[in-house]
Amino acid sequence: MLQIKAITLEKLHNGMHYQFHEEIIEFINDEGSEKLKIKPLADTHKAAFKKFDDVFNKESKSPVTKQIKDKDKERDVRFTAIKETVKTALKHYSEEVRNAADKLWQLINHYGRVNAAPYNKQTALTTNFIQDLKSDKYKNDVALVRIRDQQDILEILNNEFIQLMSERAYEYVARSPEKVLDLRKDVDEAYQAIRRRINALVEVDGEENYEQFVRLVNITIDKYKKMMVQTGPRKKKEG
């Protein structure tokens, strides 16, 4: 059964912790808290995060912000290039290439308007899209349509975007560390309440109304678990 995975939020470094909750709020806003039947819990989580956010005086401009915008544009261009290459291959003289392009075109349409999504959702969708392209189901089609190089570039750009977002989050949390621990606990408790409710609702109502949200959250959790392995867990003295 589809469920939101567990993650030990206490082990996330402050910057990753900040960004994780920012992404969860974005996913909830995009999906709709009322549709997900979690509005009171989502409101509590958002309020707790706002207090967390206020400590870091987020209104101050970060020099990383422009880099983020520029990297997002690069990522948009590469995703569009893949889409256009596949679209052109639909008219290829080779039936084998046309069939491969048709499979990839259906996959692209499944993901919808990726470039129009908010930053964090676009990152999650792009990560999943790349995983699909690398899978046994599509890797031969990728080779036939010759988008492997573009796929690799898109993955690099997406990872660079993730790194820039993390750097900006670290900047925010470094400004006022003295209240971080208490605020982290409040935000974490509010999130865990959302996770428990969604998982319970999936069991009662079925997966259909929650599938997209749960999959996006799980992609994000996998991303942060991977980042935690790379950087090591948060030390107790941090924040």
**110 & 135 share domain:** yes
- 192-211 pLDDT, tens digit each: 999 999 999 999 999 999 99
**221 & 144 share domain:** no
Residue with tokens 């428990």: 196
Consecutive H or E run containing 183: helix 180-205
**88 & 141 share domain:** yes
Residue 3 forms part of a structural domain: no
Residue 87 forms part of a structural domain: yes
**86 & 149 share domain:** yes
Please check whether residue 81 is in contact with residue 150, taking contact to mean a CB–CB distance below 8 angstroms.
yes
Residue 109 forms part of a structural domain: yes
How big is the CA angle at 146 (ends 97 and 105), to the nearest 5 degrees? 60
Q: Give the pLDDT band of residue 13 (cuts 50, 70, 90).
A: confident
Residue 4 forms part of a structural domain: no
**134 & 185 share domain:** no
**In the predicted model, what is the mean pLDDT of residues 47-53?**
87
Domain count, the chain: 2
AA letter at 46: K
Token representation of residue 229: 């392995």
The residue out of 122, 137, 164 marking a domain boundary is 164
Q: Where are the alpha helices (DSSP H) in 90-147?
A: 95-111, 119-134, 139-145
Residue 192 forms part of a structural domain: yes
**29 & 82 share domain:** no
The reply to whether the predicted model has a pTM over 0.75 is: no
85: left (phi over 0), alpha (psi -120 to 50) or beta: alpha
How many residues would you count in the chain? 239
The residue out of 129, 164, 199 marking a domain boundary is 164
How big is the CA angle at 133 (ends 128 and 134), to the nearest 5 degrees? 95
Calculate the CA 13 to chain-centre distance: 17
**187 & 219 share domain:** yes
Residue 218 forms part of a structural domain: yes
**151 & 219 share domain:** no
- 130-174 pLDDT, tens digit each: 999 999 999 999 999 999 999 999 999 999 998 888 887 777 666
The residue out of 164, 194, 212 marking a domain boundary is 164
Residue 24 forms part of a structural domain: yes
- 78-117 pLDDT, tens digit each: 999 999 999 999 999 999 999 999 999 999 999 988 998 8
Please check whether residue 164 is in contact with residue 64, taking contact to mean a CB–CB distance below 8 angstroms.
yes
Q: Which domain holds residue 204?
A: 9-59+175-231
Residue 238 forms part of a structural domain: no
